[in-house]
Amino acid sequence: MNFFVGITGASGVRLGARLVGELVSRGTVHLSFTPQAQAIAAEEGVSLVFPDGVKIWPLEALNAPVSSGSFRLKGTVIVPCSMGTLGRLAAGVSSNLIERAGDVALKEKWPLILVPRETPLSLIHLENMATLARAGAVILPPVLTYYHWPRCIEDMEDFILGKILDHLGLDHALFRRWGDEAGR
Ligand SMILES: Cc1cc2nc3c(=O)[nH]c(=O)nc-3n(C[C@H](O)[C@H](O)[C@H](O)COP(=O)(O)O)c2cc1C
């Protein structure tokens, strides 16, 4: 099972790094990140060093397997997704591997999960999200969560990561589901 993860230059790069950790035991992770993601990772104290088994592709590698719809992927996740990348995706601009992977996911109609991170949102941001949602993407912003009684940022991250895995059709125990009797 192949996955593609793109990490772009919005705050919350840790979500992307942690998602790779979740997916690596479930299949082959193809990964690319932008220079701005690297800069923000350094700013936010996040390591972008990954275990063997994660295939890291340069952003310019438009000849990577994930550039083609003939290469099958279980899903494509861009997390976090900057407003810049979101806008280019909405416009169909495939100027780097992450944008091309998003474009391919939309045309092939396999899951494309976007985790846009910005606040407040301008009308341009909202319209770009609406365009992408109409084209088939799942817009999954990393919102604050409360009803599962988070005690730390990691608990909130677990919730978002669990929602991403849900949309990839993968089982997990990252959060307690509403209606699940297991204790807090
Ligand atoms: C510390 C820092 C935090 C940022 N956080 C965000 C953010 O949360 N969301 C966003 O859309 N852009 C954010 N930006 C701006 C993006 O990095 C910028 O738009 C960049 O061009 C995105 O490039 P990329 O999509 O190629 O990674 C941030 C920039 C810096 C330096």
Q: Residue 85 falls within a domain, yes or no?
A: yes
pLDDT in tens, the chain (184 residues): 999 999 999 999 999 999 999 999 999 999 999 999 999 999 999 999 999 889 999 999 999 999 999 999 999 999 999 999 999 999 999 999 999 999 999 999 999 999 999 999 999 999 999 999 999 999 999 999 998 899 999 999 999 999 999 999 999 999 989 888 654 4
DSSP assignments along the chain, one per residue: -EEEEEE-SSS-HHHHHHHHHHHTTTSEEEEEE-HHHHHHHHHHT------TTEEE--TT-TTSGGGSTTS--SEEEEEEE-HHHHHHHHTT---SHHHHHHHHHHHHT--EEEEE--SSPPHHHHHHHHHHHHTT-EE-------TT---SHHHHHHHHHHHHHHHTT----SSPPTT--S--
Q: Is residue 25 part of a domain?
A: yes
Which residue CA neighbors atom 13 of ligand 1 most closely? Answer: 10
Would you say residue 20 lies in a domain? yes
Q: Which atom of ligand 1 is nearest to the CA of 86?
A: 25
Rounded distance from Cα 118 to ligand 1 centre (Å): 9
Mutation choice for ligand 1 from 5, 36, 121, 122, CB with most ligand atoms inside 8 A? 36
pLDDT at residue 178 in the model:
87
What distance separates the 2 farthest-apart alpha carbons in the chain? 49
> Would you state the pLDDT for residue 182?
57
Residue 77 has what pLDDT? 98
Identify the residues whose C-beta falls under 6 Å from ligand 1: 8-11, 34, 36-37, 40, 43, 82-85, 117-118
CA of 176 to the centre of ligand 1 (A): 32
Q: Residue 85's domain is classified under what CATH number?
A: 3.40.50.1950
Closest Cα to atom 3, ligand 1: which residue? 11
Q: Does residue 109 belong to any structural domain of this protein?
A: yes
Q: Whose CA is nearest to atom 31 of ligand 1?
A: 40
Residue 46 belongs to domain spanning:
2-167
Q: How many domains does the chain have?
A: 1
What integer pLDDT is reported at residue 179 of this predicted model?
Answer: 85
The structure's pTM equals 0.97
Q: Would you call the peptide bond into 80 cis, given omega within 30 degrees of 0 as the criterion?
A: yes
Residues 6+ apart with CB under 8 A from 72: 2, 110
